[in-house]
């Protein structure tokens, strides 16, 4: 009997926690809603294959409007990628003092560069 084999793709995870970094407090919990724009943002990075290699887009989403308020793309997923996306969100204005930002616990988000931006 001839059986066709299906090759399964290995999932590639971008989340690489920094074992030395102290995790930030989870200020959002499971409450992914905000009453006013500019008070809660969530961020993530993904990766896309292109003819020239991997492309890493990062974005920040406002939980009140569900709009992308900042994004950046690069051929790497280092800390400056998420910092650039957050800088765009901040530069567009509308973020309130004390705005809570939530992300995964990858090393990009726990880096010194990200924490000081």
CA dihedral 92, 98, 102, 106 (to 10 degrees): 90
Rounded to an integer, the average pLDDT of 50-71 is 95
State the Cα–Cα distance between residues 113 and 80, nearest whole angstrom: 7
Is residue 108 in some structural domain?
A: yes
Is position 7 within any domain?
no
Residue 13 domain flag: no
Residues 28-49 have a mean pLDDT of 90
Give the chain's domain count: 1
Bridge partners (DSSP) listed for residue 70: 60
Q: For residue 26, is it within any domain? A: no
What CATH number is given to the structural domain containing 99?
3.30.420.10
Assigned domain for 53 exists: yes
| Range of the structural domain that residue 101 is part of | 40-115
Asked whether residue 70 is domain-assigned, the answer is yes
Quick: pLDDT tens for 63-112: 999 999 999 999 998 889 989 999 999 999 889 999 998 887 665 555 55
What contacts 115, CB < 8 A, 6 or more positions away?
A: none
Residue 34 has what pLDDT?
92
């Amino acid at each position: 009997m001839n059986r066709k084999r299906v090759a399964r793709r290995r999932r590639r995870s971008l989340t690489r926690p920094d074992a030395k970094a102290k995790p930030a407090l989870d200020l959002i919990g499971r409450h992914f809603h905000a009453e006013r724009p500019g008070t809660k943002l969530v961020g993530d990075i993904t990766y896309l294959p292109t003819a020239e290699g991997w492309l890493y887009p990062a974005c920040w989403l406002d939980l009140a409007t569900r709009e992308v308020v900042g994004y950046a793309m690069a051929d790497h997923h280092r800390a400056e990628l998420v910092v650039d996306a957050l800088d765009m969100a901040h530069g567009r204005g509308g973020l309130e003092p004390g705005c809570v930002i939530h992300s995964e616990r990858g090393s990009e988000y726990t880096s010194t560069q990200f924490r000081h931006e």
